[in-house]
Structure 1
Amino acid sequence: MPWRRAAFAAALLFPLAACTTQAQPEAAGSTAPGFPYTVTNCGVTTTFTAPPKRAVTMNQHATEVMLELGLAKSLVGTAYLDDKVLPKYAADYRAAPVLAAEYPSYEKLLSANPDYVYGGYASAFAANEGRGREALAKSGITSRLNVENCPKGATTTMDDVYQEVREVGRTFGVADRAESWVREAEATNARTRAEHAGAAPVSVFVYDSGDKTAFTVGGKGIGNDIVTRAGGRNIVAGDLKDKSFGDASWENVVARAPEVILILDYGGTSVEAKKKRLRDDPALASVPAVKNGRFAVLPLSDMVTGVRAPDAVAKLAGQLRAGAGR
């Protein structure tokens, strides 16, 4: 989908918005219990003397981290869903104002009077649209960018998911809730690993979207770690080793002959339409996954650094071992 490519392209176009180091002044008055707390996030160092009171989340996985930690009352605005929030979050999500279907303008963002903005993708803080982290800081607004989108060379793993939840929990004074979630997530990952131990890896191609080229999961992001933990082998991880998402050629897909194609479910194109596009392409007729009808499906929100990641591993592992959804 074009907007998906644009969102990830923005991470390259606006790196300074994500990596400029700045020290936030401490607020006047008494310090809240458990504070001050200083955190460095994507090169931006912030000291909190109390939890933020008026948060805006941009991108679904940021919103769901907040809701999982019981912070719905701190939300004064949200923006940019990829798909539906999980049912357990639905009531809390409906209670939060939606500032924009995609990203709000800087003026719309300021109209919510936030003291904290939490972005899931680097494009949330696009400097040329006025939402850069420096600009927010000058307005007295602290910010956070999901760690998967920090401009760094290291790959993103489940440990980064734990870090993300812990740091958000600590920022909002609910470190105990964050640690409880991490313990449950570790247990989920341990169960999945034990249930599928010893099975040979299944070659997997992740299909997000695209016709002339295939927009897919690269080797750098949490999506690749999810595939690996589920017992899969991402066939283009080496080609896109420096990207969370990127474009792969269909020629490479054919040459690598994936046993399973994992379809990401979101947006206006249905899973069935994506399957039809793959089945109807004569160039893909020899691909084992297409020939044998081996398609797995996950929502896009499962494949980013958020609270869905451990369950996503378990769901994908089950589909890979069961022959996937035919």
Structure 2
Amino acid sequence: MSWRRTPLLPAAALISLLAACSAPAGKPSARPAPGFPYTVTNCGVTTTYQAPPHRAVTMNQHVTEVMLALGLEKSLAGTAYLDDAVLPAYRKAYDSVPVLAKEYPSKEALLAADPDFVYGGYASAFDATAGRARPDLERSGIATRLNTESCPTGRSSFADLYREVDEVGRTFGAADRAEAWVRTAKDTVAGAEKRLGGVAPVSVFVYDSGDKTAFTAGGKGIGNEIITRAGGRNVFADLDKTFGDATWEQVVARRPEVVVIYDYGTTTVEQKKKRLLDDPALREVPAIRNRRFAVMPLSDTVLGVRAPAAVDKLAAQLHPAR
């Protein structure tokens, strides 16, 4: 549920103000950091930052990689929940950050890290039943941010990705680094589209997981736009969700030419292929009959810093001749 709250003063800033109040008379107060105070509205929550957070915790890989791409590992007090391997370019920085839990940390483990900011990738990061709801954390003086792909309204696009990186950069006093990243990302996406040059799109079914039903990519997430920009057409673009269930009868009826398998977790790509190839109901689906599979790590297909390069990666599999 979207809600609005009184601007929050992060814990780190509160400590600084208390220290300033107890300073000897006549000592000049520190100047505000450049770009602060900074006010931003994220998924209906408005927060004013008087200074950059210093003890952030990230939950979910794609938001961790946003922080690392901006060189903000020294601002991280902890991280949690990888879906697949961290990009090699970020491995050294990632290894310098404490891992609080393999998946989501308990509320006690989270608070033990003494965060002043918690950045979640999926709505499940702020699970109320686990005591991690955004209002609860913010009442404890901890600022929060949810990746905008998990906001309850609208469809995600590359414009949303660029805004995500820009707002995180501004929150942490790294606006210049965010601006440089966005420029490079735009060039990467434009280069991929230029190489495709009006190629006829191929129909694509995303197989994330599932047995009785097919858990797939809908039209609301950035994964749908990655497919489109890579020269594909998502056969479940009409599913008004980032991810959702489809019936196998629908998969058969929509006759995808390529299956894009999302690679993550304990079920391997080969196991997913076998499940599809062994299903007699799918035998006449063009992608299955012709064994046309593409593979994408899950972290490439959500709203994070891998998405621009993912367009090229998927295009190479959908249109190898280009």
Q: TM-score, normalised by structure 1?
A: 0.91
Corresponding residue for residue 180 of structure 1 = 180
Q: Aligned equivalents of 2:82 and 2:245: distance in 1? A: 22
Corresponding residue for residue 70 of structure 2 = 69
SS of residue matched to 2:89: helix
Give aligned-pair identity as a percent.
66
Corresponding residue for residue 121 of structure 1 = 122
Corresponding residue for residue 6 of structure 1 = none
Is the counterpart of residue 299 in structure 1 residue 282 in structure 2? Answer: no
Q: TM-score, normalised by structure 2?
A: 0.92
Is the contact between residue 20 and residue 134 of structure 1 (CA under 8 Å) also seen in structure 2?
Answer: no
Give me the CA root mean square deviation: 1.2
- AA of the residue aligned to 2:275: R
Corresponding residue for residue 98 of structure 2 = 97
- AA of the residue aligned to 1:86: L
Corresponding residue for residue 26 of structure 2 = none
Is the contact between residue 294 and residue 323 of structure 1 (CA under 8 Å) also seen in structure 2?
Answer: no
Structure 2 unaligned spans of 5+: 21-29
Is the contact between residue 125 and residue 132 of structure 1 (CA under 8 Å) also seen in structure 2?
Answer: yes
- AA of the residue aligned to 1:191: G
Is the contact between residue 60 and residue 301 of structure 1 (CA under 8 Å) also seen in structure 2?
Answer: yes
Further displaced range: 242-251 or 24-33: 24-33
Is the counterpart of residue 321 in structure 1 residue 319 in structure 2? Answer: yes
- AA of the residue aligned to 2:273: K
Q: Aligned equivalents of 2:299 and 2:8: distance in 1? A: 34
- AA of the residue aligned to 1:148: E
User: What is the count of residue pairs matched by the alignment?
Assistant: 304
- AA of the residue aligned to 1:207: Y
The alpha carbon displacement at 1:33 in A equals: 1.9
1:44-59 equivalences in 2 (<5 Å): 44-59=45-60
Corresponding residue for residue 9 of structure 1 = none
Corresponding residue for residue 13 of structure 1 = none
Residues 132-187 of structure 1: CA deviation (Å, up to 9, x unaligned):
111111111001000011111x2111111101100000000010110111001000
Q: Aligned equivalents of 1:110 and 1:198: distance in 2? A: 51
The alpha carbon displacement at 1:32 in A equals: 1.5
1:299–1:323 distance in 2 versus 1, CA, 3 Å: farther
SS of residue matched to 1:251: helix
Is the contact between residue 37 and residue 171 of structure 1 (CA under 8 Å) also seen in structure 2?
Answer: yes
Q: Aligned equivalents of 2:126 and 2:4: distance in 1? A: 15
Q: Aligned equivalents of 2:254 and 2:46: distance in 1? A: 43
Is the counterpart of residue 281 in structure 1 residue 301 in structure 2? Answer: no
SS of residue matched to 1:298: strand
Corresponding residue for residue 23 of structure 2 = none
Corresponding residue for residue 7 of structure 2 = 24
The alpha carbon displacement at 1:23 in A equals: 2.2
The alpha carbon displacement at 1:91 in A equals: 1.2
The alpha carbon displacement at 1:25 in A equals: 4.0
Structure 1 unaligned spans of 5+: 1-15
The alpha carbon displacement at 1:199 in A equals: 0.6
Is the contact between residue 204 and residue 234 of structure 2 (CA under 8 Å) also seen in structure 1?
Answer: yes
Is the contact between residue 24 and residue 137 of structure 1 (CA under 8 Å) also seen in structure 2?
Answer: no
Which protein is bigger by CA-based radius of gyration? 2
The alpha carbon displacement at 1:323 in A equals: 7.5
The alpha carbon displacement at 1:24 in A equals: 2.6
The alpha carbon displacement at 1:268 in A equals: 0.7
Is the contact between residue 23 and residue 44 of structure 1 (CA under 8 Å) also seen in structure 2?
Answer: no
- AA of the residue aligned to 1:24: P
The alpha carbon displacement at 1:20 in A equals: 2.0
